[in-house]
A and B are shown apart, each in its own frame.
Chain A
Amino acid sequence: MNKEGVILIAEDDEGHFELIKRTLQRAGVCNEILRFADGQETLDFLFIKGDGLKREPNREYLLLLDIRMPKIDGIEVLEKIKQDPNLKKIPVVMLTTTDDPVTIERCHDLGCSVYIVKPVEYEDFTDAVHKIGLFLSVVEIPQVSGFK
């Protein structure tokens, strides 16, 4: 992922977002980071709807997605992204407190790239996010074109 790529974090818990952001930055990731507080905001951004920020065509994006969020949950967001022929190229990292095997399997079936359970232990948590940072530095992300 080059430095132009944008990391999107869909996370309703502000504390979690802060921790993820700080850990990523400490891991040397200096890409632009955007936060969405719920599923609706995330979809509005990606599908270029509503009044908020909008996705720019021909840019690299990577989405860190929480599952339990108000309005629209992460699974639904993932489903909608993967159904879209254009947006489905975006790598989606599920980063959530839910370790329910059924949910994990469902996310994989829907096409998430990685599924990470947020560990309660701080070291494990930073370790997990750190690994995401490493993942970001090696992964090749396709550019997402705009809509017709």
Chain B
Amino acid sequence: MLRCRLYIAGRLVPEGICNQKGDGVMHPHPVVIFDIITFLACLTALVFLCKSSIHAKQHRTQLLFSGLLVFTLLCYSFCLILEWSRVTSRLDILENFIGVLAPMWWAFVFYAFLKEITEKNLRESEARLYELFDEAPIGYHELDTEGRITHINKTELKMLGYKYEEMLGRPVWEFVIEEETSRQAVIDKLSGAIPPGQALERTLRQKNGNTLPVLCEDRLLHDDFGNITGIRSTIQNISKRKQAEYDREQLMETLASKNKELESILYVTSHDLRAPLVNIQGFSHELSLSCEQVRSALRDRKKSADTDEKLQTALNKDIPEALGFITNSASRMESLLSGLLRLSRLGTAALNIESLDMNTLLADVTKSTEYQIKQAGATVKVEPLPPCRGDSSQINQVFTNILNNALKYLDDTRPGMIRVYAKAEYRRNVYCVEDNGVGIAPDHKEKIFEIFYRLEPDKKHGEGLGLTIVKHILERHNGNIRVESKPGVGSKFFISLPSV
């Protein structure tokens, strides 16, 4: 027993110290303490082993080790019990056996202790990493060689609204809108045909059917031999960025269209204002030519017989004609400038948006245009209209202009019929002013809203501003206007305005 204990204690114990008194009673002896310590060490080793087998996957060697340890402990306890109870003192074979194993167990206790510390640290850092993986602000997933999801973090699950089990094992392209493209790309990446994607924009399909724009970054996973074993991807939600991009595009479009409109106003205005100037200058000169003629005719009065005729022509035809052109051009310029001013004031006038009873409004409009309606011999029929939101005086102007326009372009060959009705759409009301007038050729449909555009300037009065004003007012009301027309049949103007 002594030899064994020497091993167990891990140091040599002088033989003299081991006194076994003759009375046969077991006295406390330092070696006994070593016995107990050794026993406890073995027990600790067993606990460590058991604990590590809970955390780690059970290995066969570890099982074998545990079994052996249990066996040693049992033998050892058996020995101690036997010895202390003094049943026998001849257990040399067993003692020798344990003695050989004991240092190994000591080494193992030390090893297990260190291992436990390392594993604890490892587990902690793993937990931290996992938390980071799961709670990171970007989505992570890993794919196997078949493109199936093997790992996915909570962020990505939350992004798509799926549960872990619902996504695990499914091919990643099943969650991508561009399914076929994505499938081909994943397969090519896994086969090494194309490099992993950097800053790839994809649209993912959420569980509720919505779509989510994301930015993907891929990294290939390799085994020790350099073979591709999968892909690890990060997924970034870029819906806010996309929304901002979309808003920016919308803004750019609006800006571009406004700019174009401004350019066209400038172009048209410069042309239309210049045209009367050409006349004023031209006919002023014609006038001076006529004056010259008059003067020379008067000078040569006695010499020439046709003087009177020349004078007559100049005074009765040329001069009044030139004056006519000059005054007309001047008043045309005046009307163009005042039209421009009206249009510009329209853009700055404050809007008083309120709920509008369209039936009352249309009654006011038809009442104020009663004279024109009677003149045109037309019938205006207003059906019950739903209310909308707008500035009462400006919306009144819209319908007055459209009604005037319809009256102006009625077909003389049939009695004029104008009908106003409405249709409710999603959060909007579309009012329609339908006439049976001359209609508009498809080519002119857009032009009629252009500033100063007139279809028949020789036949109809006007500045060519009515519909331009209508369009401007509606734009400020977040509404719009479009026209459907068949030449010879009639036109329908659709005015869309926000509903109450």
Interface residues of A (CB under 8 A from B): 12-16, 18-19, 22, 37, 67-68, 70-72, 76, 96-98, 100, 118-122, 125-126
Report the bound CA distance from A97 to B284 in whole Å.
18
Report the bound CA distance from A120 to B285 in whole Å.
12
- Chain B residues 238-268 with CB under 8 Å of chain A are 267-268
Contacts of A15 in B (CB 8 A): 276, 278-279, 282-283, 325, 328-329
Contacts of A70 in B (CB 8 A): 453-457
How many whole Å from A104's CB to the nearest CB in chain B? 13
Contacts of A16 in B (CB 8 A): 275, 278-279, 282
Contacts of B83 in A (CB 8 A): none
Q: A19 is contacted by which of B277, B283, B328, B454 (Cβ under 8 Å)?
A: B283
Asked if B281 is at the interface (CB within 8 A of a chain A CB), the reply is yes
Of all chain A residues, the one with the shortest Cβ separation from B328 is: A15
Report the bound CA distance from A18 to B278 in whole Å.
11
Would you call the interface of chain B mostly helix, strand, loop, or mixed? helix
Q: Are B455 and A97 in contact (CB under 8 A)?
A: no
Q: A15-B328, A98-B271 are in contact. Are A37 and B458 (CB under 8 A)?
A: yes
Asked if B286 is at the interface (CB within 8 A of a chain A CB), the reply is yes
Q: Are B329 and A71 in contact (CB under 8 A)?
A: no
Q: A37-B458, A70-B455, A122-B284 are in contact. Are A19 and B278 (CB under 8 A)?
A: yes
Give the number of chain B interface residues (Cβ < 8 Å).
30
Q: A15-B325, A98-B267 are in contact. Are A72 and B284 (CB under 8 A)?
A: no
How many whole Å from B439's CB to the nearest CB in chain A? 13
Contacts of A22 in B (CB 8 A): 286
Interface centre among A37, A70, A119 (most CB of B within 10 A): A70
Q: A15-B328, A19-B283, A125-B281 are in contact. Are A97 and B274 (CB under 8 A)?
A: yes
Query: Which A-B residue pairs are the 6 nearest by beta carbons?
Result: A15-B279, A19-B282, A122-B285, A15-B325, A97-B274, A122-B281
Contacts of A67 in B (CB 8 A): 271
Contacts of B278 in A (CB 8 A): 13, 15-16, 19, 97, 118-120, 125
- Chain B residues 45-63 with CB under 8 Å of chain A are none
How many whole Å from B466's CB to the nearest CB in chain A? 15
How many whole Å from B331's CB to the nearest CB in chain A? 13
Asked if B29 is at the interface (CB within 8 A of a chain A CB), the reply is no
8 chain-A/chain-B pairs, Cβ below 8 angstroms: A15-B329, A71-B441, A71-B444, A71-B455, A96-B271, A118-B278, A120-B274, A122-B282
Q: Are B274 and A12 in contact (CB under 8 A)?
A: no
Asked if B292 is at the interface (CB within 8 A of a chain A CB), the reply is no
Asked if B272 is at the interface (CB within 8 A of a chain A CB), the reply is yes
Contacts of B267 in A (CB 8 A): 98, 100
Of all chain B residues, the one with the shortest Cβ separation from A76 is: B443
Report the bound CA distance from A72 to B447 in whole Å.
10
Report the bound CA distance from A97 to B278 in whole Å.
9
Of all chain B residues, the one with the shortest Cβ separation from A15 is: B279
Report the bound CA distance from A121 to B443 in whole Å.
34
Contacts of A126 in B (CB 8 A): 285
How many whole Å from B417's CB to the nearest CB in chain A? 25
Q: Are B444 and A19 in contact (CB under 8 A)?
A: no
Q: Are A121 and B281 in contact (CB under 8 A)?
A: yes
Contacts of B456 in A (CB 8 A): 70
How many whole Å from A15's CB to the nearest CB in chain B? 4
- Chain B residues 264-316 with CB under 8 Å of chain A are 267-268, 270-272, 274-279, 281-286
Contacts of A119 in B (CB 8 A): 278
Of all chain B residues, the one with the shortest Cβ separation from A96 is: B271
How many whole Å from A146's CB to the nearest CB in chain B? 26
Contacts of A120 in B (CB 8 A): 274, 277-278, 281
How many whole Å from A120's CB to the nearest CB in chain B? 5
Report the bound CA distance from A23 to B274 in whole Å.
19
Report the bound CA distance from A37 to B276 in whole Å.
16
Q: B279 is contacted by which of A19, A37, A68, A71 (Cβ under 8 Å)?
A: A19
Q: Are A12 and B457 in contact (CB under 8 A)?
A: yes
Contacts of B271 in A (CB 8 A): 67-68, 96-98
Interface centre among B270, B275, B455, B456 (most CB of A within 10 A): B275
Contacts of B285 in A (CB 8 A): 122, 126
Contacts of B277 in A (CB 8 A): 120
How many whole Å from B61's CB to the nearest CB in chain A? 85
Q: Are B284 and A68 in contact (CB under 8 A)?
A: no
Q: Are A13 and B279 in contact (CB under 8 A)?
A: yes
Report the bound CA distance from A16 to B283 in whole Å.
9
How many whole Å from A74's CB to the nearest CB in chain B? 11
Report the bound CA distance from A100 to B281 in whole Å.
22
Q: A68 is contacted by which of B268, B276, B328, B444 (Cβ under 8 Å)?
A: B268
Q: Are A97 and B275 in contact (CB under 8 A)?
A: yes
Of all chain A residues, the one with the shortest Cβ separation from B274 is: A97
Of all chain A residues, the one with the shortest Cβ separation from B277 is: A120
Contacts of B281 in A (CB 8 A): 120-122, 125
Interface centre among A14, A72, A97, A126 (most CB of B within 10 A): A97
